[in-house]
Structure 1
Amino acid sequence: MSPILVLSILLQIACCVHVVRSGRPLYWMLFLMMFSYLAVLVYVVAAVIPDLRAGPSGQRAMRKVRNQLDPGRGARAASRQLQVADTPENRRRLAEESLRTGDFASAEVAYRGALKGLYADDPDLMLGLAQAQHGLGQPADALQTLQSMWSANPNYRSHEADLLHARVLADTGALEEALQRFDSVARGYPGEEARVRYGQLLRQGGHNTQAAEQFRESLQRSQTAPGYYKREQKTWLDIAKRELAAIGG
């Protein structure tokens, strides 16, 4: 059987399955079986693509593509919305988009603008401000913001806040305190970033044996992890491999 014919049949079957699962009229199946590639193309454009765009996973994929093609798109849209209506939510959105794109100066201004009135002690906004300050190379300011955040919100819990706390301690020269903090954070952090950064700080302090243990654990954990986890953590796993090789492990 011709490979072209086999591919046509497989595509037709896949589209027919989509017809049934999506609850579309069954005349689509007759159309698909009669007109082969043309019918498949029409059906994909008319039904499959709109379904992908409407679903949560499809929307996430579309946002990811848009962000890669135009990283500043979200920040520009948020800025326009803020000009139309100067609300805490619009300031929050602009701050988050600026932080996401690495525009830390704009993010700091936006977060400070949002931290007013009822939101003056909002822990998520304060964490965002601390992240912006850290991005600007102001670890002492970031540390002060984090301390104020926990003082105002003693029950607030955030893995990102814990990791940032360990990083700013290291950047302010409190290496021993930072190592203790990293040791605690790495145990419960949902990913490999904390463990790899902990290993890097250990190596920086000359603790190569302990550093190698952290890098090995990250790599060993990934061996039994599902594929999506390996893809999400690829950057940090690659760093762990390079660091371990540099140590000689």
Structure 2
Amino acid sequence: MPLFIIIMLLQVFLIVHAVKTGRNTLWVWVLLMAPMIGGLAYLIVELLPEWNRSSSAHKARKKVRDITDPNRDFRQAQDNLKRNETIQNLINMAKECADKGLYKDAEMFYDRALKGIYQTDPILLEGLARVQLLDQRYQDCKRTLDSLIQHNPDYRSKIGHVMYAQCLFNLKEFDAANEEFEALKKYHPTALVKYHLGELRQLQNRPTDALNEFRSILEQENAWDPSGNGDEQWLNKAKARIADITKTVH
């Protein structure tokens, strides 16, 4: 394809992008009057900063950083905490410990933050509950979330709701877990939520309903998991469950 046509197509794309995203109309004139220079300016001034702020770009940069220097964020969190023991620095340190599987250390940092006016802070309690869930201490996690709800009745959190349902499931309180996952499916149907509902249908000896739940993970759009975890593990688990149920049914 001739270079001229490529440049023209790029210009059309940039103009359409500027209009659709509500950029200053001056950009349209710049792109029309100075195709090469205007397009380059638009990319540098408007698009590159936007891409740098995007979550996907942030995740990509973090992956590269984790490979080249896996302890960089951990050291930075430590240094910040040594200089100034703020609530945010304690939270950051706790998160870094949790990401490395140092759950007892993570809990210690949350405990240090849960003092005084922050003793019942919902963000801190939710963070503590997450650590306890990762550590498979389901009773402690449920107790922490119960405290969060008691002291913060107006607080709403999708992550907290999912964690609470997971605790109930792992504590084998299946009726209560079913109620929570059913509620979650109405407003937050993530792959994780659908998968656990499929498991509950199997426990209820309802293989057809279980199959429908597992298939919905693969065939329907799943809500975004605000915890940042991907759907891949649930997709793979659902495929395996579908195969097992299909063999049994047929």
TM-score (norm 2): 0.73
Aligned to 2:190: 191
Alpha carbons of structure 1 residues 142 and 11: separation in structure 2 relative to 1, 3 Å: same
What residue is the counterpart of 2:55 in the other structure? 60
CA drift at 1:194: 1.0
- Where does residue 125 of structure 1 map in the other structure? 124
Q: Does 1:92 align with 2:87?
A: no
Contact 1:199 1:214 in 2 (8 A): yes
Could you tell me whether the CA contact under 8 Å between 1:182 and 1:198 is conserved in 2?
Answer: yes
**Is 1:52–1:58's contact at 8 Å kept on the other side of the alignment?**
no
Task: Indicate how the Cα distance of structure 1 residues 52 and 239 shifts in structure 2: closer, same or farther if over 3 A, else same.
Answer: farther
Distance 1:25 1:103, change over 3 A: farther
Aligned length: 235
Q: Say which SS state the counterpart of residue 70 (structure 1) adopts.
A: helix
Deviation at 1:153, TM superposition (A): 2.0
Task: Give, in whole Å, the separation in 2 of the partners of 1:109 and 1:94.
Answer: 10
**Could you list the per-position Cα deviations for residues 154-174 of structure 1 after superposition, in whole angstroms to 9, with x for gaps in the alignment?**
333222222211211222233
In structure 1, distance between residues paired with 2:44 and 2:244: 47
Match among 25, 34, 46 for residue 51 of structure 1: 46
The amino acid across from 1:147 in the alignment is D
Give 5+ residue unaligned stretches, structure 2: none
Q: Matches of residues 1-249 of structure 1 in structure 2 within 5 Å?
A: 2-14=1-13, 21=23, 23=26, 32-33=35-36, 44=40, 47-55=42-50, 58-71=53-66, 73-99=72-98, 103-203=102-202, 206-219=205-218, 221-222=220-221, 234-235=231-232, 236-237=234-235, 239-248=237-246
- Larger deviation, residues 3-12 vs 115-124: 3-12
Per mean C-alpha deviation after superposition, the further-off stretch among 151-160 and 20-29 is 20-29
CA spacing shift, 1:172–1:48, aligned 2, 3 Å:
same
Give the counterpart letter for 1:69 in structure 2: V
Q: In 2, are the aligned partners of 1:19 and 1:29 still within 8 Å (CA)?
A: no
Q: Decide whether aligned partners of structure 1 residues 19 and 188 sit closer, same or farther in structure 2, where only a CA change above 3 A counts.
A: closer
- The answer to which of 121-130 and 12-21 deviates more is 12-21
For residues 28-83 of structure 1, the C-alpha deviation after alignment (integer angstroms, 9 at most, x for no partner) is 766645xxxxx58xx64x65245334338734333121222234554443332222
For 1:8, the aligned partner's letter is I
Question: How far does residue 118 in structure 1 lie from its aligned partner after superposition?
Answer: 0.9
Of the structure 1 ranges 86-95 and 212-221, higher mean CA displacement relative to structure 2 is found in 212-221
Residues 56 and 28 (structure 1), Cα distance of their counterparts in 2 relative to 1, 3 Å cut: closer
Residue identity (%): 28
Computed over aligned residues only, the root mean square deviation of the Cα atoms, in angstroms, reads 3.7
Query: Cα offset for 1:205?
Result: 6.1
Tell me the alpha carbon deviations over residues 135-165 of structure 1, each in whole angstroms, 9 at most, x when there is no partner: 1121121122112222222333222222211
Give the whole-Å Cα distance in 2 for the aligned partners of 1:19 and 1:168: 47
Alignment check: 8 A CA contact 1:79 1:94 kept: yes
Match of 1:36 in 2: none
Q: Distance in 2 between matches of 1:50 and 1:106?
A: 43
